[in-house]
Amino acid sequence: MKTDSDLFEDVLIDNALLVMPDQGEKIESHGISINFKVTGETTNDQIGVYEICLAPKTIGAKVHYHRFMDETFIIQEGKVTLSLGERNIVAEKGAVAHIPRFTPHGFRNDSDKAAKLLLIFNPAQNRENFFRELHETLKERPVDPRKFLKLYEEYDSFPLDMNNMIQVE
């Protein structure tokens, strides 16, 4: 007689991904370094993990929100000012902030020392391509606000202040 447990046969596989500290695609621009640790490309878009290093006095992202993904910040080094709704909170090493969809948020390093954090997107929403395209867009001088906004919208990011959305001059 077959039981419920006989109806499924588990096939175990080893698809584990281990990314060492010095590994991962890296993009650097305007005082921000982004190291792709676990990408949507490798997780079937389930999750994306990105290590962000912010130079002193650097904006990571101005206040925006997402419709289709949640974002989690894990502060690894230094201090990061998180804009969460109407609040500005200085988060230090070890702090974790979970930002559900439709929650306005932004982040920056207001301190005189570098800061490092992990950003986790769930689902990933192809975030690594957003970072790649943003890097190219911010190289242009002047930055075209329409192109910037189109890129944001394409990758589920919606700025609250359309007149003050670009983080570099």
pLDDT tens digits for range 131-156: 999 888 888 888 888 888 899 899 99
What is the CATH number for 147?
2.60.120.10
Note whether residue 167 is domain-resident: no
User: pLDDT confidence of 81, banded at 50, 70, 90?
Assistant: very high
d(CA 46, CA 123): 5
Note whether residue 15 is domain-resident: no
Q: Are 138 and 122 in contact (CB under 8 A)?
A: no
Note whether residue 39 is domain-resident: yes
Residue 3, pLDDT score: 60
Note whether residue 5 is domain-resident: no
> What's the structural domain count of the chain?
1
Tokens of 143: 């930055």
Note whether residue 6 is domain-resident: no
Domain that holds residue 40: 25-162
Question: Is the per-residue pLDDT at 82 higher than 70?
Answer: yes
Provide mean pLDDT across the span 50-62. 96
Residue 7, pLDDT score: 65
Supply the pTM of this predicted model: 0.88
Note whether residue 168 is domain-resident: no
pLDDT one-digit tens code per residue, 63-80: 999 999 999 999 999 999
Note whether residue 139 is domain-resident: yes
Question: Is the per-residue pLDDT at 157 higher than 90?
Answer: yes
d(CA 18, CA 41): 15
DSSP assignment letter at 123: S
Tokens of 42: 């490798």
Residue 75, pLDDT score: 99
Note whether residue 19 is domain-resident: no
Residue 65, pLDDT score: 96
